[in-house]
Amino acid sequence: MEPVMAVVVGALFAASVYMMLRRSIVKLVIGLILLSNAANLLIFTVSGLTRGAPPLIPEGLEVPPDAWADPLPQALILTAIVIGFGVLAFAVVLIHRAYEVVGEDDMDQMRSTDT
């Protein structure tokens, strides 16, 4: 399973970078969304994929009897998803507002503050 996931994560990263390099600010945000999902999947994959083994300890034992799925990466991903959601919501509002103020959705027209 891991090699497949690795390819998926790589493809997501590639797609997101491609989207971010486009000139349209909408595509920029789509790129950011893909990027944050790629990172979440990557954490999920690198910490090892285990099927159907909840990290529960039966009564009378100190440690789980068999191999178990590590719950920590899932907690990390959950936190990262929530943070990513908040930040991306901000980014969507920002591009909407920028479009209203500038009147363009083209990154190349947004150069007045550049160096």
Partner 1 sequence: MSVAVALPVLIPFIFGSLSLVFFNSHAVQRWLGVIGTGLLFLATIVLLHKTWTDGIQVMAMGSWPAPFGIVLVADMTSAIMTLMAGMMGFALAVYSLPSISRDHEAFGYYPLMHLLLAGVSGAFLTGDIFNLYVWVEVLLVASFALLILGGERGQMEGAIKYVTLNLFSSIMLLVGVGLTYGLTGTLNMADLAVKLPEVEQQGLVTVVGMLFLVSFSIKAAAFPLFFWLPASYHTPPVAVTALFAALLTKVGVYALYRFFTLMFGNDVGYTHELLLWIGGFTMVTGVLGAAAYYEIRRILAFHIVSQIGYMIVGLALFTPMALAGGVIYIVHNIVAKTNLFLVGGVIYMMRGSYDLKQIGGLWKTRPLLGVLFLLPAMALAGIPPLSGFLGKYVIIRAGVEVESWGIVAVSLGVGLLTLYSMVKIWAEAFWKAQPEEHAARAERFEQALSQKSMAIMLLPIIALGVLAAVIGLAAQPVYEMALVAGHQLLDSTDYIEAVLGVTP
Residue from 56, 61, 63, 101 that binds partner 1 (CB under 8 A)? 101
Q: Could you give the string, one character per residue 34-63, with x where binding to partner 1 holds by CB under 8 A and - elsewhere?
A: -xx-xx--xx--xxx---------------
Using CB under 8 A as the binding rule, whether residue 30 contacts partner 1 is answered as no
Residue 40: how many other CB atoms lie within 10 Å: 19
Residue from 49, 53, 78, 94 that binds partner 1 (CB under 8 A)? 94
Using CB under 8 A as the binding rule, whether residue 28 contacts partner 1 is answered as yes
Phi, psi (degrees; rounded to nearest 5) at 56: -110, 140
Q: Pick the closest to residue 80 from 49, 42, 51, 48 (CA basis).
A: 42
Q: How far is the CB of 60 from partner 1 (least distance, A)?
A: 23
Phi, psi (degrees; rounded to nearest 5) at 24: -75, 135
